[in-house]
Amino acid sequence: MPLGLGRRKKAPPLVENEEAEPGRGGLGVGEPGPLGGGGAGAPQMGLPPPPPALRPRLVFHTQLAHGSPTGRIEGFTNVKELYGKIAEAFRLPAAEVMFCTLNTHKVDMDKLLGGQIGLEDFIFAHVKGQRKEVEVFKSEEALGLTITDNGAGYAFIKRIKEGSVIDHIQLISVGDMIEAINGQSLLGCRHYEVARLLKELPRGRTFTLKLTEPRKAFDMISVRSGGGRPGSGLQLGTGRGTLRLRSRGPATVEDLPSAFEEKAIEKVDDLLESYMGIRDTELAATMVELGKDKRNPDELAEALDDGLVTSPSRMSFVFDVWGAIGDAKVGRY
């Protein structure tokens, strides 16, 4: 993430999933496999990680969203490694995995897998489907798109505002991956970079979007969603806690977010959309973690990376984030 991650609270070490059967792995679809070691708990500073035999096991169940047998995966510490494990389980190239949803096979942006997975969550992987190229006339400054990304190099559409420029183009849907704008490849770009490029396109001109939609199951064909409502479905996990995936450092098992943390994350995610046209609960959660112990907005500003929000909007954004965290602390929801 484009953040100076600063100091973090010390999280409890990974624990073994109670549903994991001794001696069984999860790389094959419905088949036992070797023990993965990538999901290790946070090692002590300066010490090597524990040997694979001593690392805890967290086993998750997964299916392809358009339909497949159930696979078992383990041994991942970030989203990119998770996609790799899913690809191994279903014998797919890792680049085919676009994004994942939790506990639903539908393209439901309220259930999008971000930085946390509940220890009892079922993972549905959405893979590449039909490719399409669409010409768009930018009649308004705002296109009505909210962009997110999968943490592994693909940016896609998370929400389409009702009545907007994009809303009138039926070929464009929530979940579509944005591969290129006017022939410029966006593979490997973060969501805020794509949102910035779209914003900078001149009004009154036509531009071309190259898109890839997720492969759909039969019951999802012809469904076009406007995406989740802002803050309507923040789901950071279910059951006995969550596995927190980090872009830097090992994954950790943490308690479910408190009411304060959940509401603060929701409000900061709304600010990300308002200022930058993106939604990213992992980034919002990191900001809340950084900001909840800061004494003033200046300290929070020092903890955030300068590249995330550029001047002159940066300090306004920081003040709003500071205010959102403060409101959540005192119960002003």
Confidence (pLDDT) at 307: 52
Which CA distances in Å does 309 have to 2, 116, 271, 281?
Answer: 10, 24, 11, 17
Closest Cα to residue 138, out of 81, 202, 195, 224?
Answer: 202
Measured CA to CA, the distance from residue 114 to residue 9 in angstroms comes to 20
Closest Cα to residue 279, out of 220, 194, 199?
Answer: 194
Phi and psi of 146, rounded to 5°? -115, 130
Among the residue ranges 47-51, 236-240, 303-307, the one predicted with the least confidence is 236-240
- Each residue of 272-315: pLDDT tens digit? 888 877 778 778 888 888 888 888 888 888 877 655 555 457 77
Confidence (pLDDT) at 265: 86
Ranked by mean pLDDT, the top range of 9-13, 131-135, 320-324 is: 131-135
Confidence (pLDDT) at 288: 86
pTM over 0.75: no
Based on its alpha-carbon atoms, the radius of gyration of the chain, rounded to whole angstroms, reads 20
Q: Which helix (H) or strand (E) holds 97?
A: strand 97-102
Tokens of 112: 């999008």
146 within 8 A of 227, measured Cβ to Cβ: yes
Report helix, strand or coil for 303: helix
Measured CA to CA, the distance from residue 191 to residue 3 in angstroms comes to 14
Report helix, strand or coil for 200: helix
What's the 3-state SS for 100-119? EEECCCCCCHHHECCCEEEC
